[in-house]
Amino acid sequence: MAYSPAISTIADAIQASLSPVFMLAGIGALLNVLAGRLSRVIDRARVLERIHQETTGADHDRAVGELRVLARRMSITNAALLMAVSSAVMTCLVVAMLFVAVLLKFHIGQYVAAGFILAMALLIASLGAFMLEVRVSTTAIRIRDELLR
């Protein structure tokens, strides 16, 4: 007779995969925020590209400086997006490995653990890049003191 896992075994696999699934929901929210920030940076860069062609002197220099900051922000945000998506893919692989291990009675716990650690490391790196991008964006904006009085 063919092997058929017990319902309790499948229930255990589902229960074990719930934490990674919640992690996927959090990564999805992070991806949404990162994509929104990237979209705003791109929109601003398009406006500045038009201004760049139409200005000279100090206005032109300001546009160039802001375009440089925006280029850096785009690069950082792209890296954060790549790491967040990679974390999500790794998390999906962890869930798949959990089910395969339970259903086929494979002993791959070390691979599941390594996959989860890699997914978390990628998520941490993505959050770090997000924090860096926010820092770059806030330091680029300086409100003159006379406007605050």
Q: What are phi and psi of 3, to 5 degrees?
A: -70, 135
| Confidence band, pLDDT 50/70/90 cuts, at residue 1 | low
pLDDT of residue 47: 93
pLDDT of residue 149: 76
Q: What CA–CA distance (Å, rounded) separates 27 from 126? A: 10
pLDDT of residue 144: 72
Q: 3-class DSSP state for residue 95? A: helix
Closest Cα to residue 122, out of 91, 94, 86, 97? 86
| H helices, E strands: number in the chain | 3, 0
Q: Tell whether the model's pLDDT for residue 52 goes beyond 60.
A: yes
Distances (CA, A) of 94 to 19, 31, 101, 103, 124: 11, 19, 10, 14, 17
| Confidence band, pLDDT 50/70/90 cuts, at residue 2 | low
Across the chain, what does the average pLDDT equal? Answer: 90
Closest Cα to residue 75, out of 139, 137, 138? 137
Q: Tell whether the model's pLDDT for residue 145 goes beyond 90.
A: no
pLDDT of residue 143: 75
What is the rounded average pLDDT of the residues 42-56? 92
